[in-house]
Homo-oligomer: A and B are copies of this chain.
Amino acid sequence: MKIDHYKSHDHLLVALDCIIFGFDRNELKLLLIKRDFEPEKGNWSLMGGFLRKDESLNESAERILNNLTGLRNIYLEQLHAYGEIDRDPVERTISVAYYALIDVHTHDKELVEQHSASWFPINEIPDLIFDHQEMVKAALKRLRYKASHQPVGFELLPEKFTLPELQKLYEGIYDTRLDKRNFRRRILSMDVLIKTDEKQKKYSKKGAFLYKFDQDKYTEKVTNGDSLVFKPLRS
């Protein structure tokens, strides 16, 4: 065969769709946009776009996410490639889904408004176009797995956070209730949080101490082969 044999094969559109998770008011949420073109104009959708020849998949996902949020360097991971023949009625398109974890307070609210985007609690997601519902379901499953083995939850919180906030986050991700004492003991025993001497008084009169995640210490522990389990405890 010749080197140009590739030419004889089909060329397709490659789309990307982003499942954007945030955590606000003790709830896990998704950022969805109202689609402004046909087909399915006016319906809710994941933020998406098409892959360009001059960018990698990851770069494309970063670009698309940046278009909506104005953010860079955020936690972004490939989820799955969706390739049913008729998944997009206009033209044969495969879509590579990515999920992102962002701190809801940092994104660019103007951009979000321009896209008619809004945040939906994970349990109140409206009907979505194409196979986006399936993507969301898979993303949630992946987030649950990921958060139980790696410290990704912190991506959804501000740099400084309280232990009650962190607990609420895990409760939101796993849709469950956790025991306060067990949760605190477990998280603190990992020894990857730095306690600051500041107190957060937003939610209580007494105030709760703010902590920071210690990325260096975590990296060191992983390098040493320690396996930290962030999986939450029951009840």
| Contact A83–B54 (Cβ < 8 Å) | no
A113 within 8 A of B: no
Indicate with 1 or 0, residue by residue over A38-56, a CB within 8 angstroms of chain B CB atoms.
1100000000001111111
CB < 8 Å neighbour of A83 from B9, B50, B57, B80: B57
Query: Which of A9, A55, A57, A60 has the most chain B CB atoms closer than 10 A to its own CB?
Result: A9
| Contact B9–A11 (Cβ < 8 Å) | no
User: Chain B: which residue is nearest A54 at the CB level?
Assistant: B85
Alpha-carbon distance A150/B53, docked complex (angstroms): 38
Total interface residues on A, using CB and 8 Å?
39
User: Chain B: which residue is nearest A37 at the CB level?
Assistant: B1
Which residues of B are found within 8 Å of A92, using beta-carbon distances? Answer: 53
Which residues of B are found within 8 Å of A91, using beta-carbon distances? Answer: 6
What's the nearest-Cβ distance from chain B to residue A134, in Å?
13
Which residues of B are found within 8 Å of A1, using beta-carbon distances? Answer: 36-38
User: Chain B: which residue is nearest A82 at the CB level?
Assistant: B57
Indicate with 1 or 0, residue by residue over A126-138, a CB within 8 angstroms of chain B CB atoms.
0000000000000
Question: How many identical subunits does the complex contain?
Answer: 2
Given A38-B1, A81-B78, A81-B96, A10 and B50 contact (CB-CB distance below 8 Å)? yes
Which residues of B are found within 8 Å of A39, using beta-carbon distances? Answer: 3
What's the nearest-Cβ distance from chain B to residue A147, in Å?
15
| Contact A6–B10 (Cβ < 8 Å) | no
Indicate with 1 or 0, residue by residue over A54-67, a CB within 8 angstroms of chain B CB atoms.
11111010000000
User: Chain B: which residue is nearest A80 at the CB level?
Assistant: B78
Alpha-carbon distance A93/B57, docked complex (angstroms): 11
User: Chain B: which residue is nearest A41 at the CB level?
Assistant: B1
Which residues of B are found within 8 Å of A3, using beta-carbon distances? Answer: 38-39, 90
Alpha-carbon distance A93/B9, docked complex (angstroms): 11
What's the nearest-Cβ distance from chain B to residue A225, in Å?
13
CB < 8 Å neighbour of A50 from B4, B9, B38, B80: B9
Which residues of B are found within 8 Å of A81, using beta-carbon distances? Answer: 57, 78, 81, 96
Given A5-B37, A12-B51, A51-B12, A56 and B78 contact (CB-CB distance below 8 Å)? no
Known: A12-B13, A54-B85. 4 other contacts (CB 8 A): A6-B93, A10-B14, A11-B13, A12-B53
